[in-house]
Amino acid sequence: MAVMNSERPELLPATTRLHGLQLALARALWATLVLLTLTLFAAGLAPYRAKLSEGFAARQPLLEQLGISSQGYLGYNVALQIGFMAVFTAVGAIIFWRKSDDVLTLMVSLTLITFGAYLSEPSYLARIRPLWVVVDTVGAVSILFFTYTFPDGRLVPRWTHWAGITFFVWTFAWHLFPRAFFSPWQWPGVWEFIALLLWYGSGLAAQVYRYLHISTPTQRQQTKWVLYGLLIALAGYFISDLPSYVPALEQLTFFALLEALDSHPIYYLAMLMIPITIGISILRYRLWDVDLLINRSLVYVTVMVLLGGLYVLLLHGVMVMATRVLSADASGFAIFVATLGAVTAFTPLRRAVQRGVNRAFYRSRFDYDQLLPELITQLATNIVPERLLPLLTAEIPARLQIESASLLVLDQDELALVDVRSPEEGAIAASHPLVQELRAWGRAVDLSRPGRFVVPSEVRAWLNERRVALSIPLI
Protein backbone atom coordinates (compact mmCIF):
# COMPACT_ATOMS: atom_id res chain seq x y z
CA MET A 1 0.00 0.00 0.00
CA ALA A 2 1.21 3.50 -0.85
CA VAL A 3 0.52 6.18 1.77
CA MET A 4 0.76 9.86 0.81
CA ASN A 5 1.44 12.39 3.58
CA SER A 6 0.25 15.94 3.13
CA GLU A 7 2.29 18.03 5.58
CA ARG A 8 5.69 18.25 7.19
CA PRO A 9 5.91 17.63 10.95
CA GLU A 10 7.43 21.04 11.74
CA LEU A 11 4.29 22.76 10.48
CA LEU A 12 2.14 21.33 13.27
CA PRO A 13 1.27 23.89 15.97
CA ALA A 14 2.14 23.50 19.62
CA THR A 15 -0.62 22.56 22.04
CA THR A 16 -2.94 25.40 23.08
CA ARG A 17 -4.57 23.65 26.03
CA LEU A 18 -4.67 25.48 29.37
CA HIS A 19 -4.48 23.91 32.81
CA GLY A 20 -4.75 24.88 36.45
CA LEU A 21 -4.34 28.56 37.33
CA GLN A 22 -3.89 29.64 33.70
CA LEU A 23 -7.20 28.04 32.75
CA ALA A 24 -9.01 29.64 35.70
CA LEU A 25 -7.62 33.11 34.89
CA ALA A 26 -8.47 32.77 31.18
CA ARG A 27 -12.05 31.75 31.94
CA ALA A 28 -12.41 34.60 34.47
CA LEU A 29 -11.15 37.13 31.89
CA TRP A 30 -13.54 35.71 29.30
CA ALA A 31 -16.49 35.92 31.69
CA THR A 32 -15.61 39.50 32.69
CA LEU A 33 -15.36 40.80 29.14
CA VAL A 34 -18.53 38.98 28.07
CA LEU A 35 -20.45 40.42 31.04
CA LEU A 36 -19.23 43.93 30.24
CA THR A 37 -20.18 43.49 26.58
CA LEU A 38 -23.71 42.30 27.32
CA THR A 39 -24.13 45.05 29.93
CA LEU A 40 -23.14 47.65 27.36
CA PHE A 41 -25.58 46.25 24.82
CA ALA A 42 -28.46 46.12 27.32
CA ALA A 43 -27.75 49.68 28.49
CA GLY A 44 -27.99 50.90 24.90
CA LEU A 45 -31.46 49.49 24.16
CA ALA A 46 -33.35 52.37 25.84
CA PRO A 47 -31.48 55.17 24.01
CA TYR A 48 -31.80 53.14 20.82
CA ARG A 49 -35.59 53.07 21.16
CA ALA A 50 -35.56 56.83 21.81
CA LYS A 51 -33.49 57.40 18.66
CA LEU A 52 -35.91 55.29 16.63
CA SER A 53 -38.90 57.24 17.94
CA GLU A 54 -37.28 60.53 16.96
CA GLY A 55 -36.35 59.25 13.52
CA PHE A 56 -39.75 57.80 12.70
CA ALA A 57 -41.20 61.22 11.79
CA ALA A 58 -38.75 61.67 8.89
CA ARG A 59 -39.60 58.23 7.51
CA GLN A 60 -43.32 58.29 8.33
CA PRO A 61 -44.73 59.08 4.84
CA LEU A 62 -42.91 56.22 3.11
CA LEU A 63 -43.52 53.76 5.96
CA GLU A 64 -47.23 54.56 6.11
CA GLN A 65 -47.51 53.94 2.35
CA LEU A 66 -46.16 50.44 3.04
CA GLY A 67 -48.55 49.93 5.95
CA ILE A 68 -45.84 50.01 8.64
CA SER A 69 -46.94 51.66 11.91
CA SER A 70 -44.67 53.31 14.46
CA GLN A 71 -44.97 50.30 16.77
CA GLY A 72 -44.16 47.93 13.94
CA TYR A 73 -41.15 50.06 13.01
CA LEU A 74 -39.87 50.10 16.61
CA GLY A 75 -40.56 46.40 17.11
CA TYR A 76 -38.77 45.39 13.91
CA ASN A 77 -35.59 47.32 14.68
CA VAL A 78 -35.34 46.37 18.35
CA ALA A 79 -36.09 42.69 17.61
CA LEU A 80 -33.52 42.64 14.82
CA GLN A 81 -30.80 44.11 17.04
CA ILE A 82 -31.55 41.72 19.91
CA GLY A 83 -31.76 38.69 17.60
CA PHE A 84 -28.54 39.71 15.87
CA MET A 85 -26.64 40.00 19.15
CA ALA A 86 -28.26 36.78 20.42
CA VAL A 87 -26.87 34.74 17.50
CA PHE A 88 -23.31 36.03 18.01
CA THR A 89 -23.57 35.42 21.77
CA ALA A 90 -25.12 31.96 21.40
CA VAL A 91 -22.44 30.70 18.99
CA GLY A 92 -19.69 32.16 21.17
CA ALA A 93 -21.22 30.56 24.29
CA ILE A 94 -21.52 27.15 22.60
CA ILE A 95 -17.87 27.27 21.52
CA PHE A 96 -16.88 28.22 25.08
CA TRP A 97 -18.97 25.44 26.57
CA ARG A 98 -17.56 22.79 24.24
CA LYS A 99 -13.86 23.77 24.35
CA SER A 100 -13.29 26.21 27.19
CA ASP A 101 -9.88 24.73 28.08
CA ASP A 102 -8.33 25.79 24.76
CA VAL A 103 -6.90 29.31 24.51
CA LEU A 104 -7.66 29.58 20.79
CA THR A 105 -11.32 28.69 21.14
CA LEU A 106 -11.62 31.05 24.11
CA MET A 107 -10.32 33.83 21.88
CA VAL A 108 -12.70 32.88 19.07
CA SER A 109 -15.65 32.80 21.46
CA LEU A 110 -14.77 36.22 22.89
CA THR A 111 -14.20 37.57 19.38
CA LEU A 112 -17.70 36.60 18.25
CA ILE A 113 -19.46 38.15 21.24
CA THR A 114 -17.50 41.43 21.23
CA PHE A 115 -17.64 41.72 17.43
CA GLY A 116 -21.41 41.26 17.56
CA ALA A 117 -21.61 44.18 19.99
CA TYR A 118 -19.28 46.20 17.77
CA LEU A 119 -21.63 45.75 14.81
CA SER A 120 -24.84 46.43 16.76
CA GLU A 121 -26.16 49.95 17.22
CA PRO A 122 -27.37 49.82 20.87
CA SER A 123 -23.80 49.24 22.14
CA TYR A 124 -22.69 52.46 20.45
CA LEU A 125 -25.59 54.47 21.90
CA ALA A 126 -24.96 53.36 25.50
CA ARG A 127 -23.56 56.36 27.38
CA ILE A 128 -20.84 54.42 29.17
CA ARG A 129 -17.85 55.81 27.29
CA PRO A 130 -14.89 54.01 29.00
CA LEU A 131 -16.66 50.66 28.70
CA TRP A 132 -17.64 51.36 25.10
CA VAL A 133 -14.04 52.22 24.16
CA VAL A 134 -12.80 48.89 25.57
CA VAL A 135 -15.55 46.67 24.15
CA ASP A 136 -15.68 48.35 20.74
CA THR A 137 -11.89 48.28 20.34
CA VAL A 138 -11.72 44.60 21.33
CA GLY A 139 -14.54 43.77 18.91
CA ALA A 140 -13.02 45.65 15.98
CA VAL A 141 -9.49 44.33 16.49
CA SER A 142 -10.21 40.76 17.57
CA ILE A 143 -11.98 39.81 14.33
CA LEU A 144 -8.92 40.93 12.36
CA PHE A 145 -6.56 38.96 14.61
CA PHE A 146 -8.89 35.98 14.22
CA THR A 147 -8.41 36.03 10.44
CA TYR A 148 -4.65 36.43 10.95
CA THR A 149 -4.34 33.44 13.31
CA PHE A 150 -7.12 30.95 12.54
CA PRO A 151 -6.99 27.96 12.80
CA ASP A 152 -3.64 27.24 14.51
CA GLY A 153 -3.03 30.42 16.55
CA ARG A 154 0.05 31.61 14.66
CA LEU A 155 0.35 35.02 12.98
CA VAL A 156 0.85 34.05 9.34
CA PRO A 157 2.21 35.46 7.05
CA ARG A 158 4.90 37.59 8.68
CA TRP A 159 3.43 40.96 7.71
CA THR A 160 0.40 40.25 9.91
CA HIS A 161 2.54 41.05 13.00
CA TRP A 162 3.01 44.73 12.20
CA ALA A 163 -0.35 45.00 10.43
CA GLY A 164 -2.21 43.75 13.51
CA ILE A 165 -0.33 46.04 15.91
CA THR A 166 -0.85 49.06 13.64
CA PHE A 167 -4.56 48.38 13.34
CA PHE A 168 -4.90 47.99 17.13
CA VAL A 169 -3.14 51.31 17.85
CA TRP A 170 -5.14 53.14 15.19
CA THR A 171 -8.47 51.65 16.33
CA PHE A 172 -7.85 52.41 20.01
CA ALA A 173 -6.81 55.97 19.13
CA TRP A 174 -9.89 56.75 17.04
CA HIS A 175 -12.18 55.35 19.74
CA LEU A 176 -10.52 57.62 22.30
CA PHE A 177 -10.62 60.62 19.97
CA PRO A 178 -13.54 60.04 17.57
CA ARG A 179 -13.41 63.64 16.26
CA ALA A 180 -9.70 63.58 15.42
CA PHE A 181 -8.52 63.81 11.80
CA PHE A 182 -7.33 60.18 11.85
CA SER A 183 -10.75 58.85 12.82
CA PRO A 184 -12.52 57.19 9.86
CA TRP A 185 -15.78 58.57 11.24
CA GLN A 186 -14.61 62.02 10.13
CA TRP A 187 -13.82 60.93 6.57
CA PRO A 188 -16.15 60.83 3.57
CA GLY A 189 -18.10 57.58 3.41
CA VAL A 190 -16.19 56.19 0.44
CA TRP A 191 -12.80 56.75 2.12
CA GLU A 192 -13.98 55.12 5.35
CA PHE A 193 -15.17 52.12 3.32
CA ILE A 194 -11.87 51.85 1.43
CA ALA A 195 -9.79 52.07 4.64
CA LEU A 196 -11.76 49.41 6.49
CA LEU A 197 -11.95 47.25 3.35
CA LEU A 198 -8.14 47.27 3.09
CA TRP A 199 -7.68 46.27 6.73
CA TYR A 200 -10.29 43.55 6.86
CA GLY A 201 -9.40 42.50 3.32
CA SER A 202 -5.90 41.79 4.62
CA GLY A 203 -7.49 39.20 6.90
CA LEU A 204 -9.05 37.50 3.90
CA ALA A 205 -5.67 37.59 2.16
CA ALA A 206 -4.04 35.96 5.20
CA GLN A 207 -6.62 33.17 5.17
CA VAL A 208 -6.07 32.55 1.46
CA TYR A 209 -2.29 32.46 2.00
CA ARG A 210 -2.73 29.94 4.82
CA TYR A 211 -4.96 27.79 2.65
CA LEU A 212 -2.49 27.68 -0.22
CA HIS A 213 0.80 27.38 1.67
CA ILE A 214 0.37 26.38 5.33
CA SER A 215 -2.82 24.52 6.19
CA THR A 216 -3.29 20.78 6.55
CA PRO A 217 -6.27 19.13 4.79
CA THR A 218 -8.34 19.44 7.98
CA GLN A 219 -7.43 23.10 8.40
CA ARG A 220 -8.27 23.79 4.77
CA GLN A 221 -11.77 22.45 5.30
CA GLN A 222 -12.14 24.82 8.27
CA THR A 223 -10.72 27.72 6.28
CA LYS A 224 -13.26 27.19 3.51
CA TRP A 225 -16.09 27.74 6.00
CA VAL A 226 -14.49 30.91 7.38
CA LEU A 227 -13.81 32.38 3.93
CA TYR A 228 -17.36 31.54 2.92
CA GLY A 229 -18.82 33.51 5.83
CA LEU A 230 -16.45 36.46 5.51
CA LEU A 231 -17.05 36.89 1.78
CA ILE A 232 -20.83 36.87 2.20
CA ALA A 233 -20.54 39.39 5.05
CA LEU A 234 -18.31 41.62 2.93
CA ALA A 235 -20.72 41.45 -0.01
CA GLY A 236 -23.67 42.24 2.25
CA TYR A 237 -21.87 45.24 3.72
CA PHE A 238 -21.05 46.56 0.26
CA ILE A 239 -24.60 46.14 -1.06
CA SER A 240 -26.23 47.70 2.01
CA ASP A 241 -23.98 50.77 1.87
CA LEU A 242 -24.09 51.22 -1.91
CA PRO A 243 -26.45 54.26 -1.91
CA SER A 244 -24.01 56.26 0.24
CA TYR A 245 -21.41 55.94 -2.52
CA VAL A 246 -23.90 56.32 -5.38
CA PRO A 247 -26.58 58.85 -4.28
CA ALA A 248 -28.57 58.25 -7.48
CA LEU A 249 -29.56 54.83 -6.17
CA GLU A 250 -31.50 56.43 -3.32
CA GLN A 251 -34.17 57.30 -5.88
CA LEU A 252 -34.93 53.61 -6.40
CA THR A 253 -37.82 52.33 -4.28
CA PHE A 254 -35.93 49.21 -3.17
CA PHE A 255 -33.02 51.12 -1.64
CA ALA A 256 -35.33 53.83 -0.25
CA LEU A 257 -37.35 51.19 1.60
CA LEU A 258 -34.26 49.53 3.05
CA GLU A 259 -32.94 52.90 4.18
CA ALA A 260 -36.28 53.76 5.78
CA LEU A 261 -36.20 50.59 7.90
CA ASP A 262 -33.10 51.94 9.74
CA SER A 263 -31.68 48.46 10.49
CA HIS A 264 -30.67 47.26 7.04
CA PRO A 265 -31.86 43.61 6.72
CA ILE A 266 -29.29 42.70 4.01
CA TYR A 267 -26.43 43.99 6.16
CA TYR A 268 -27.46 42.15 9.32
CA LEU A 269 -28.38 38.89 7.60
CA ALA A 270 -25.03 38.87 5.76
CA MET A 271 -23.12 39.57 8.97
CA LEU A 272 -24.83 36.63 10.68
CA MET A 273 -22.91 34.34 8.34
CA ILE A 274 -19.74 35.16 10.30
CA PRO A 275 -20.71 33.45 13.60
CA ILE A 276 -22.59 30.65 11.82
CA THR A 277 -19.70 29.63 9.56
CA ILE A 278 -17.07 30.09 12.28
CA GLY A 279 -19.11 27.91 14.62
CA ILE A 280 -19.41 25.20 11.97
CA SER A 281 -15.70 25.40 11.13
CA ILE A 282 -14.74 24.77 14.76
CA LEU A 283 -17.44 22.38 15.97
CA ARG A 284 -19.19 20.58 13.11
CA TYR A 285 -17.15 20.91 9.91
CA ARG A 286 -16.65 17.13 9.62
CA LEU A 287 -20.38 16.49 9.26
CA TRP A 288 -20.91 18.28 5.97
CA ASP A 289 -18.94 18.27 2.73
CA VAL A 290 -20.14 21.58 1.34
CA ASP A 291 -17.49 22.20 -1.28
CA LEU A 292 -20.04 22.67 -4.05
CA LEU A 293 -21.97 25.22 -1.97
CA ILE A 294 -18.78 27.04 -1.03
CA ASN A 295 -17.51 26.93 -4.59
CA ARG A 296 -20.67 28.46 -6.01
CA SER A 297 -20.92 31.00 -3.21
CA LEU A 298 -17.30 32.10 -3.62
CA VAL A 299 -17.87 32.53 -7.33
CA TYR A 300 -21.14 34.44 -7.19
CA VAL A 301 -20.25 36.59 -4.18
CA THR A 302 -16.99 37.58 -5.86
CA VAL A 303 -18.84 38.29 -9.11
CA MET A 304 -21.41 40.40 -7.24
CA VAL A 305 -18.70 42.47 -5.59
CA LEU A 306 -16.81 42.98 -8.86
CA LEU A 307 -19.99 43.80 -10.79
CA GLY A 308 -21.00 46.20 -8.02
CA GLY A 309 -17.68 48.00 -8.36
CA LEU A 310 -18.02 48.07 -12.16
CA TYR A 311 -21.58 49.38 -11.84
CA VAL A 312 -20.50 52.19 -9.52
CA LEU A 313 -17.62 53.18 -11.79
CA LEU A 314 -19.78 53.19 -14.91
CA LEU A 315 -22.61 55.05 -13.21
CA HIS A 316 -20.34 57.74 -11.81
CA GLY A 317 -18.30 58.07 -15.01
CA VAL A 318 -21.32 58.36 -17.33
CA MET A 319 -23.04 60.87 -15.05
CA VAL A 320 -19.95 63.08 -14.91
CA MET A 321 -19.39 62.93 -18.67
CA ALA A 322 -23.06 63.45 -19.53
CA THR A 323 -23.36 66.38 -17.14
CA ARG A 324 -20.35 68.11 -18.64
CA VAL A 325 -21.45 67.50 -22.24
CA LEU A 326 -25.21 67.99 -21.93
CA SER A 327 -25.31 70.25 -18.84
CA ALA A 328 -28.39 68.37 -17.64
CA ASP A 329 -29.40 65.65 -15.22
CA ALA A 330 -28.47 62.33 -16.85
CA SER A 331 -29.06 59.96 -13.95
CA GLY A 332 -31.57 57.85 -15.89
CA PHE A 333 -29.24 57.45 -18.86
CA ALA A 334 -26.32 56.67 -16.51
CA ILE A 335 -28.30 53.95 -14.72
CA PHE A 336 -29.22 52.41 -18.10
CA VAL A 337 -25.59 52.36 -19.32
CA ALA A 338 -24.26 51.01 -16.00
CA THR A 339 -26.90 48.28 -15.93
CA LEU A 340 -26.19 47.30 -19.54
CA GLY A 341 -22.46 47.16 -18.83
CA ALA A 342 -22.93 45.01 -15.74
CA VAL A 343 -25.26 42.59 -17.57
CA THR A 344 -22.84 42.29 -20.50
CA ALA A 345 -19.87 41.64 -18.22
CA PHE A 346 -21.64 39.04 -16.07
CA THR A 347 -21.00 35.87 -18.11
CA PRO A 348 -17.31 36.39 -18.99
CA LEU A 349 -16.61 37.63 -15.48
CA ARG A 350 -18.32 34.61 -13.91
CA ARG A 351 -16.31 32.22 -16.08
CA ALA A 352 -13.04 33.95 -15.20
CA VAL A 353 -13.84 33.93 -11.47
CA GLN A 354 -14.91 30.25 -11.66
CA ARG A 355 -11.55 29.32 -13.19
CA GLY A 356 -9.72 31.34 -10.55
CA VAL A 357 -11.64 29.74 -7.65
CA ASN A 358 -11.10 26.23 -9.02
CA ARG A 359 -7.41 26.87 -9.49
CA ALA A 360 -6.93 28.45 -6.05
CA PHE A 361 -9.13 26.26 -3.83
CA TYR A 362 -9.84 23.01 -5.68
CA ARG A 363 -6.63 22.30 -7.58
CA SER A 364 -5.66 19.29 -5.43
CA ARG A 365 -9.10 17.71 -5.77
CA PHE A 366 -9.07 18.25 -9.52
CA ASP A 367 -5.63 16.65 -9.71
CA TYR A 368 -6.79 13.63 -7.70
CA ASP A 369 -9.85 13.04 -9.85
CA GLN A 370 -8.01 13.48 -13.16
CA LEU A 371 -4.71 11.81 -12.36
CA LEU A 372 -5.62 8.84 -10.17
CA PRO A 373 -6.83 6.55 -13.03
CA GLU A 374 -3.66 7.30 -14.99
CA LEU A 375 -1.41 6.74 -11.98
CA ILE A 376 -3.08 3.47 -11.00
CA THR A 377 -2.49 2.24 -14.57
CA GLN A 378 1.18 3.13 -14.20
CA LEU A 379 1.35 1.20 -10.93
CA ALA A 380 -0.17 -1.87 -12.54
CA THR A 381 2.46 -1.87 -15.33
CA ASN A 382 5.48 -1.14 -13.11
CA ILE A 383 6.00 -4.29 -11.07
CA VAL A 384 9.81 -4.08 -11.06
CA PRO A 385 10.80 -3.06 -7.50
CA GLU A 386 13.59 -0.76 -8.71
CA ARG A 387 11.04 1.22 -10.72
CA LEU A 388 8.09 0.93 -8.36
CA LEU A 389 9.69 2.56 -5.30
CA PRO A 390 10.72 5.88 -6.93
CA LEU A 391 7.40 6.02 -8.76
CA LEU A 392 5.47 5.76 -5.49
CA THR A 393 7.69 7.87 -3.27
CA ALA A 394 8.76 10.63 -5.67
CA GLU A 395 6.91 10.93 -8.98
CA ILE A 396 3.34 10.43 -7.79
CA PRO A 397 3.64 12.80 -4.78
CA ALA A 398 5.17 15.45 -7.05
CA ARG A 399 2.28 15.27 -9.52
CA LEU A 400 -0.35 15.35 -6.77
CA GLN A 401 1.51 18.10 -4.85
CA ILE A 402 1.81 15.88 -1.77
CA GLU A 403 4.71 16.36 0.62
CA SER A 404 5.93 12.76 0.96
CA ALA A 405 4.94 9.12 0.49
CA SER A 406 5.64 5.72 2.02
CA LEU A 407 5.37 2.16 0.64
CA LEU A 408 3.97 -0.25 3.24
CA VAL A 409 4.18 -4.02 2.63
CA LEU A 410 3.58 -7.17 4.65
CA ASP A 411 6.79 -8.88 5.80
CA GLN A 412 7.71 -12.41 4.68
CA ASP A 413 5.77 -14.04 7.52
CA GLU A 414 2.79 -11.68 6.98
CA LEU A 415 2.91 -10.73 10.66
CA ALA A 416 3.46 -6.98 10.24
CA LEU A 417 3.06 -4.10 7.81
CA VAL A 418 6.40 -2.32 7.38
CA ASP A 419 7.76 0.69 5.50
CA VAL A 420 10.05 -0.47 2.68
CA ARG A 421 12.46 2.42 3.25
CA SER A 422 12.79 1.86 7.02
CA PRO A 423 11.54 -1.67 7.88
CA GLU A 424 13.07 -1.55 11.34
CA GLU A 425 10.88 1.41 12.40
CA GLY A 426 7.15 1.73 12.91
CA ALA A 427 6.05 -1.80 11.98
CA ILE A 428 2.29 -2.36 12.27
CA ALA A 429 1.05 -5.75 13.42
CA ALA A 430 -1.08 -7.57 10.86
CA SER A 431 -3.81 -7.87 13.51
CA HIS A 432 -4.04 -4.06 13.84
CA PRO A 433 -7.45 -2.67 12.77
CA LEU A 434 -5.65 -0.45 10.26
CA VAL A 435 -4.50 -3.45 8.21
CA GLN A 436 -8.04 -4.81 8.09
CA GLU A 437 -9.37 -1.43 6.97
CA LEU A 438 -6.77 -1.13 4.23
CA ARG A 439 -7.70 -4.55 2.91
CA ALA A 440 -11.39 -3.68 3.05
CA TRP A 441 -11.02 -0.46 1.00
CA GLY A 442 -9.56 -2.25 -1.99
CA ARG A 443 -9.24 0.97 -4.01
CA ALA A 444 -7.59 4.36 -3.94
CA VAL A 445 -9.00 6.45 -1.09
CA ASP A 446 -8.72 10.25 -0.88
CA LEU A 447 -8.57 10.85 2.89
CA SER A 448 -8.29 14.63 2.53
CA ARG A 449 -12.08 14.84 2.22
CA PRO A 450 -13.48 14.85 5.79
CA GLY A 451 -16.55 12.76 6.45
CA ARG A 452 -16.34 10.61 3.30
CA PHE A 453 -14.99 7.46 4.98
CA VAL A 454 -16.16 6.13 8.34
CA VAL A 455 -13.32 4.26 10.03
CA PRO A 456 -12.69 3.10 13.61
CA SER A 457 -11.40 5.82 15.93
CA GLU A 458 -8.10 3.95 16.43
CA VAL A 459 -7.50 3.89 12.68
CA ARG A 460 -8.56 7.51 12.26
CA ALA A 461 -6.11 8.54 15.00
CA TRP A 462 -3.27 6.69 13.23
CA LEU A 463 -4.12 8.36 9.92
CA ASN A 464 -4.42 11.85 11.44
CA GLU A 465 -1.18 11.50 13.39
CA ARG A 466 0.72 10.77 10.16
CA ARG A 467 -1.33 13.29 8.14
CA VAL A 468 -2.29 10.67 5.56
CA ALA A 469 -4.02 12.26 2.56
CA LEU A 470 -4.21 9.40 0.06
CA SER A 471 -4.07 5.59 0.23
CA ILE A 472 -3.51 3.46 -2.88
CA PRO A 473 -3.71 -0.37 -2.56
CA LEU A 474 -1.32 -2.28 -4.83
CA ILE A 475 -2.94 -5.70 -4.60
Structure confidence by residue, pLDDT tens digits, 162-202: 999 999 999 989 888 888 888 888 888 778 778 878 888 89
269 within 8 A of 232, measured Cβ to Cβ: no
Could you tell me the pLDDT band of residue 404, with boundaries at 50, 70 and 90?
low
Count the alpha carbons within 13 Å of 413 in the hemisphere toward its beta carbon: 4
Separation between Cα atoms, residue 97 and residue 107, nearest integer Å = 13
Could you tell me the pLDDT band of residue 14, with boundaries at 50, 70 and 90?
very low
Burial of 96 from C-beta contacts in 10 A (0-12 / 13-18 / 19+): buried
CA quadruple 199, 201, 206, 208: dihedral, nearest 10? 180
Return the closest-CA partner of residue 416 out of 3, 383, 424: 424
Count the alpha carbons within 13 Å of 347 in the hemisphere toward its beta carbon: 2
**Between 7 and 405, where is the model more confident?**
405
Helix (H, G, I), strand (E, B) or coil at 429: strand
Separation between Cα atoms, residue 241 and residue 201, nearest integer Å = 17
432 within 8 A of 426, measured Cβ to Cβ: no
420 within 8 A of 455, measured Cβ to Cβ: no
Q: Which of 200-204, 216-220, 235-239, 374-378 has the highest mean pLDDT?
A: 200-204
- For residue 303, the one-letter residue type is V
pLDDT at 322 over 80: no
Give the Å distances, CA to CA, from 285 to 301, 360, 363, 470: 21, 20, 20, 20
Long-range Cβ contact pairs of 135-140 (< 8 A, separation 24 or more) = 135/33, 135/36, 135/37, 135/40, 136/175, 137/168, 137/171, 137/172, 137/175, 138/33, 138/110, 138/114, 139/37, 139/111, 139/114, 139/115, 140/115, 140/171
pLDDT at 274 over 90: yes
Separation between Cα atoms, residue 149 and residue 364, nearest integer Å = 24
- How much is the pLDDT for 363? 52
pLDDT at 115 over 90: yes
pTM for the model stands at 0.64
Write out the H or E segment, with its range, that includes residue 30. Answer: helix 20-65
Residues belonging to the chain: 475
Helix (H, G, I), strand (E, B) or coil at 420: coil
**Helical H segments across 68-188, by residue range:** 70-99, 103-119, 121-125, 129-149, 160-176
Report the range of poorest mean pLDDT among 64-78, 135-149, 215-229, 277-291: 277-291
Instruction: Provide the sign of the torsion angle of the four alpha carbons 388, 394, 396, 397, taken in this order.
Output: positive
- How much is the pLDDT for 346? 85
2-5 sheet: strands from edge to edge: 428-429, 416-419, 404-410, 2-5, 468-472, 445-446
pLDDT at 453 over 60: no
Count the alpha carbons within 13 Å of 362 in the hemisphere toward its beta carbon: 18
**Between 325 and 365, where is the model more confident?**
325
Separation between Cα atoms, residue 110 and residue 132, nearest integer Å = 16
Separation between Cα atoms, residue 66 and residue 60, nearest integer Å = 10
C-alpha 363: how far from its chain's center? 19
Could you tell me the pLDDT band of residue 98, with boundaries at 50, 70 and 90?
confident
**Helical H segments across 241-290, by residue range:** 242-245, 253-260, 265-271, 273-279
- Percentage of residues of the chain with pLDDT beyond 70: 64
How many CB atoms within 10 Å of residue 166? 11
Structure confidence by residue, pLDDT tens digits, 416-442: 666 666 655 566 776 777 777 766 766
- For residue 249, the one-letter residue type is L
- How much is the pLDDT for 300? 76
Separation between Cα atoms, residue 390 and residue 405, nearest integer Å = 10
Helix (H, G, I), strand (E, B) or coil at 451: coil
Could you tell me the pLDDT band of residue 89, with boundaries at 50, 70 and 90?
very high
What's the average model confidence in pLDDT over 94-116?
A: 89
The whole-chain average pLDDT of the chain stands at 76
322 within 8 A of 307, measured Cβ to Cβ: no
- How much is the pLDDT for 235? 81
